[in-house]
Structures are given as structure tokens and as C-alpha cells.
Amino acid sequence: MSLSHRHMTESFPPVALMSLPLVALLSGSSCEIASPDEAQGELAPAFAEFDSDNVSVVLTGAQVAIESNGMPNHTSPYWSPGHPLFVEPTVTTRARMAPGYIDEFSGSYALTVSASPERASSSRATGLGPIGIAVSGAMIYNDSEGPGRALDSAIGSLDYVGAHTGPQSYHYHLEPVAWSEDDEKLIGIMADGFFLYGRRDADGTHPDDLDSSGGHTGPTPHNPDGEYHYHIQNELYLGRYYVLFPGDYQGTPGAIR
């Protein structure tokens, strides 16, 4: 599935790309030239993990533009019956599921972040709605279900991946076991530009030096030299769940629109 900003005004064969001053495009052969005074960034290897059918990633200057169609690449009872990825509910029931099917939500979600994000002088609270984009293409939400509503009020509606629909998109609240369960897998990117990984470090151990946001500086599967990144914290919620991101942003967040 191609997304609109993959199609630039001018295309170049692969050999010509080597002479261009700037631009990295995750998929396809299209390219645009940045202005000479733009600082050149570098596209993080972790972006290769994002599903290219659902997510496009473009490096322009020192910033990365990420666009998603909001659709996950895995099975769920929230797909409409008859969809190839539809499965019957297991951990929830049809009666308790949130209204709406995944394929009824259409549109795009765009986020622009720094190619080299830095921690801010103070943390910032996450808000309601999308706070990150998962590698599957779906959105990441925090540990609230709505204004003044704790997540436990919606636990019964979550599918086996810890996700449900509404009001804007299909989105995850809990550890997405469709591709990550107590491991070091990449979950996605948060709105402040830092990556979110599973509960384990690159060496297979549970980190013991996480800050209040579940972040620390150290090696990742994509950067053995180390960088600041988040983890799903290895702390149970309601005795059986792992919330994706219950903390604050440690960087300066952009808006996911």
C-alpha cells in the first residue's frame, strides 16, 4: 500500500542517489533534494522494522517524517468479519468489544521528529489520543481510557494484542503480543522521537536502571553503541498486564495528526 508522500516530484535511479546531498527514503526509489543550508541527518536503522505497506518514513534534512494509514498488520477480532485478518475474539467477547471495525477507520496519521532526538530539560505528560506509532502501522496510546478514566475501565474490550478501536483509530494500550512478548523487539516510535522497545534489553535481560518513563541510555538491537530509548516496563498492571507507556515524554513531542 503506497502512501501519498512516497510520490515525490522527481525520481532518480539508485546510482544517482549516491550523489545527492541529502535524503533517505525507507521504501521506493523516489527522492527530493533538501536545501543546501539544511543540516544533514541520518535515518536510524530501527525504521527498517516498520511495515512498509502501512508506514512510510522520509528523512529530509535533520528531520524524519513518518506517515501511517493506522492499520495493523496482524490478526484481530476488530477487523470486519470476512477480512483476511479477522479472527474470533478470545480474551474479550463480542458483547464487550468497542464499537467499530479496523477497516472502517480511514485516513492517515503523520508525525515529524528529529533525526537525532535529545532529552528535554523537563518531562512532559502524554495526552489522550495517539502518542506513538507502532511498527505494525497502528497507534500507541497511554494508560488512560479517557478524561478521568483509568485503563482498567476498558480492559474487557481489549483484544489479545491489548488493543481496541475508537474514537480515532485502532490502538494499543498493552504489550502487543502479536509480535513482542517479554523480549527486546521494537514496538514503535514515540511522539518525542525516541524508540520504544519490549521489556528486555538487547542482551536479553530486564533493565534495572529505567527512569520514571521507562527509559534509559544503552545498546539496542539497532544501535550497539547505545542511545536513549524507552522500554515497556516490567511491572504488572492489575496483576496480569504490561502497559505500553504509562510515563511522561522525556523529549519534546510532536503532534500526531
Give residue-wise pLDDT tens across range 58-90.
999 999 999 999 999 999 999 999 999 999 999
Cell numbers describing residue 193 = 522521537
pLDDT classification of 148: cutoffs 50, 70, 90: confident
Q: In whole angstroms, what is the distance from residue 24 CA to residue 5 CA?
A: 13
What rounded mean pLDDT belongs to the chain? 88
41-47: average pLDDT:
96
Nearest partner of 151 among 135, 136, 138, 162, judged by Cα: 162
pLDDT classification of 9: cutoffs 50, 70, 90: very low
26 against 183, higher pLDDT: 183
Beta strands 171-172 and 139-140 are: parallel
pLDDT reading at 179 higher than 50: yes
- Residue 24 confidence (pLDDT): 45
- Residue 125 confidence (pLDDT): 97
Q: In whole angstroms, what is the distance from residue 64 CA to residue 133 CA?
A: 13
158-182: average pLDDT:
96
Cell numbers describing residue 203 = 542482551
Other CB atoms within 10 Å distance of the CB of residue 160: 18
Answer whether 165's CB lies under 8 Å from 99's CB: yes
Give residue-wise pLDDT tens across range 198-219.
999 999 999 999 999 999 999 9
pLDDT reading at 1 higher than 70: no
Q: In whole angstroms, what is the distance from residue 111 CA to residue 73 CA?
A: 19
Q: In whole angstroms, what is the distance from residue 14 CA to residue 11 CA?
A: 9
Rg from Cα positions in the chain: 18
pLDDT reading at 6 higher than 60: no
Q: In whole angstroms, what is the distance from residue 196 CA to residue 247 CA?
A: 12
Contacts by 46-54, CB closer than 8 A, 24 or more apart? 46/186, 46/189, 46/195, 46/220, 46/222, 46/223, 49/135, 49/186, 49/222, 50/26, 50/133, 50/135, 50/137, 50/188, 51/135, 51/136, 51/137, 52/26, 52/27, 53/1, 53/137, 54/1, 54/136, 54/137
